Amino acid sequence: MGAQPDVFAEAGERARRALVREMEAYGVLRDPAWRAAFAAVPRHLFVPYYFVSGVRGYERVWCDDPDPVRRDRWLRGAYRDAPLATRVRDGELISSASQPSLMARMLEALAPRDGDDVLEIGAGTGYNAALLAHRLGDGHVTSVDLDEEITESARTHLAAAGHRPAVITGDGSRGCPERAPFDRIVATCTVPSVPHAWLAQCRPGALVLAPLSTGLILLRVRDADHAEGRFLPTSAYFVALRGGGTRTRRPRGRPMGLPRQVFEDEGFRFLRTLAEESLDTREALSLWQRERRPERERFGVTMREARQWAWLDDPEGPYAWPLPPG
């Protein structure tokens, strides 16, 4: 049987144009190639349903709702510049569709060139892989996810949108050696540290972009044992990477006596999470105040053989913190 016709194609195209205009107003989509990708790829095909939180927990919103008002609500939500909860198990969010403007910032920072091979860690709905495939071609894109249900639905969504990149079920912390080498690796899930296995699957000069702490680290790979880079300016919150080689960081509560406005400050939260292996909250606060609330761009990560560490201003400077083994 052939693909089913997209009954929301016309309305989706109008909503897509509005979303692109909105993102341009935010200062993203400066690259015409990515603007064309977001204008062409129908996001609603990748989120036939999603969940919104309410007083009774998560409520499912879907494309086949018999109520036309609720169907319209679903379509409008699909093109809102916001993340969408797409998979919930036992009340826990396990997969989501990222905010489009954040995706655009990440793709523009990743800056793949024609002919580059890209590995995506975390298939999600397949939407990010579709954007990459539109830009580079299906054969240059590989997406890996641990959950077979997620990879299967991502393949279905991609096929509905006319794309067939490689979508593989596997442990993303181990990369995808059978499809290596890669020129770019992008993770759409938070990692406690960058897995060393990824470096061995990169060509020299490759870029690795991954959510770490509450930011986005962009590393330039020198070889299988060395990489270094700085954080992007933007904050980023993603579902944690699941796999045998990672551990999940548990959020810590606010210590007594620490003002709420400090505890909830984005910059302080970033430092506190990044350096939690070495600094307690008070030490992190002292450093944060002494360095006049440093922006994310002042922080970086170095990977050297079996070690990796985060740092402020200088990889060999006085402020450096070991990260968990990758």
Backbone angles phi, psi at 106, to 5 degrees: -65, -45
Other C-beta atoms lying within 10 Å of the C-beta of residue 306: 9
Asked if residues 163 and 129 have their Cβ atoms less than 8 Å apart, the reply is: yes
CA angle 129–9–98, rounded 5-degree value: 35
Taking a C-beta distance cutoff of 8 angstroms, is the pair 269, 261 a contact?
Answer: no
Beta bridge partners of 231: 217
Assess contact for 306 and 224: CB atoms under 8 A: no
Instruction: Enter the tokens of residue 258.
Output: 């620490």
Q: Are 92 and 156 in contact (CB under 8 A)?
A: no
- Summarize the chain as % helix, strand, coil (round to 5): 35, 25, 40
Distance CA 219, CA 305 (A): 15
Q: Catalytic residue among 53, 95, 143, 153, which?
A: 95
Instruction: Please report how many Cα atoms fall inside a 13 Å half-sphere around the Cα of residue 248, on the Cβ side.
Output: 10
Sheet containing 84-89: order of strands: 57-62, 49-54, 84-89, 92-97
95 is catalytic: yes
Instruction: Tell me the angle at which helices 9-25 and 68-78 cross, rounded to the nearest 10 degrees.
Output: 40
Residues belonging to the active site: 95
